[in-house]
A and B are shown apart, each in its own frame.
Chain A
Amino acid sequence: MKDFLSDAHLREPPCKIPEGYFNEMEDVVHARIKAEEGAAGEVGGEAEVPTWKRMLRPSLELACSFLLIYAFAYGIFALTGTLKKKEAPASASVSYEEEEFFNSDKGLVRIVNIADYEQYVSENPSEANDSLSEGDIVNYLANGHYPVYVLADME
């Protein structure tokens, strides 16, 4: 490779300075110093924004924009009813119908402890319904008010 840099003329300044630049620059520097000292002397002047805030601001603005767009789109879908209930997967142990049943009043029978019921009846005999025979209860249950799996769980 040829050693171009050994050419002495390359070390000379390749550009000129605008005429009167240095005198102007001095004036500007003095003016800026006076302005900055004046501003520093003022009480209650606006505080300078820290560098980290200035650096983070664009990223935060971008993140906020995405958040707003997402919230706006979600609101639109929610209003127009486009959002649907998520269907339970086929492999789930409890079907949608079963879940509906347990959420209804009928399902309450599953969570009433028979021991509690018997204790309640013994303490409040007037509440006991002695007029129903076992056969009446079996018939009532067998008439389709409860699914088979509920009956199987009952003692």
Chain B
Amino acid sequence: MDSNDNEILNLFRSGEREQAFNILMRTYRERLYWHVRRMVCDHDDTDDILQNVFIKVWAALPDFRGDCSIFTWLYRITTNETISFLKKKNLHALLSLSDYSSQMAFRIQDDPYFTGDKMQMLLQKAIATLPPKQRNVFVMRYFEEMKYEEIAQVTGITEGALKASYHHAYEKVTKYLTEHV
């Protein structure tokens, strides 16, 4: 754990719970936001997930044992929350006989906050076609340039399996881009 983590935990244990929580949110909110946003594409969905993540963090912080860094712990909670969200959306889409990936593609096109170029839009659409867990690995490795070791700590998947998953995701995205450019 780094000094910032220690400061947050010491503050929390000394009874300054709200202050510690505020420091934690301000330190990690932007990085977590982008992690979720790249997974779900939509700002409103990202907002919902991020709020749920921080509420869970507040509830679980007293039980945080410190056997990993706060960042890894937060990423774990965020990843689980995001994958659950995507699975729920996929299930709802399946029940209404539609495809969530194509819904996401339309939402990316209509997103008022999207400022990227054509290639970036295509990349977002390509990511939307990946299964949730593969998408998570791809986002962490490609955009956030995390090491396999760090991703393994967050996801609990072996490094070998992560490399294979990232390779498959990379191939799928490249194929999608080649077909749609």
> What is A's interface to B at a CB cutoff of 8 Å?
1-5, 7, 9-18, 21-22, 25-26, 28-30, 32-33, 36, 58
Contacts and interface: CB of A to CB of B under 8 A. Distances in A.
A4 B113 contact: no
B62 to A, nearest CB: 13
Interface of B: 18, 22, 25-26, 29-30, 33-34, 37, 43, 47, 50-51, 54-55, 58, 95, 111, 113-117, 119-121, 123-124, 142-143, 145, 170, 173-175, 177-178, 181
B34 to A, nearest CB: 6
Contacts of A5: 123, 142, 170, 173-174, 177
Given A1-B175, A7-B119, A15-B37, 16 more contacts: A2-B178, A3-B174, A4-B123, A5-B170, A5-B173, A13-B37, A14-B120, A15-B43, A15-B113, A15-B114, A21-B47, A22-B33, A29-B51, A29-B58, A33-B55, A33-B58
A58 B94 CA distance: 14
Contacts of A12: 116, 120
B108 to A, nearest CB: 9
19 contacts: A4-B119, A4-B123, A4-B177, A5-B177, A7-B119, A11-B145, A12-B116, A12-B120, A14-B114, A14-B123, A14-B124, A15-B113, A15-B115, A16-B115, A22-B26, A26-B25, A32-B55, A33-B58, A58-B95
Contacts, number: 79
Nearest to B57: A29
Contacts of B120: 9-10, 12, 14
Contacts of A3: 174
A39 to B, nearest CB: 12
Contacts of A14: 114-117, 120-121, 123-124
Which of B18, B51, B117 has the most chain A CB atoms closer than 10 A to its own CB?
Answer: B51
Nearest to A33: B58
A36 B54 CA distance: 13
B43 A17 contact: yes
Nearest to B33: A17
A144 to B, nearest CB: 70
A36 B56 CA distance: 11
Contacts of B114: 14-15
Contacts of A15: 37, 43, 111, 113-116
A148 B163 CA distance: 91
B140 to A, nearest CB: 12
Nearest to B144: A11
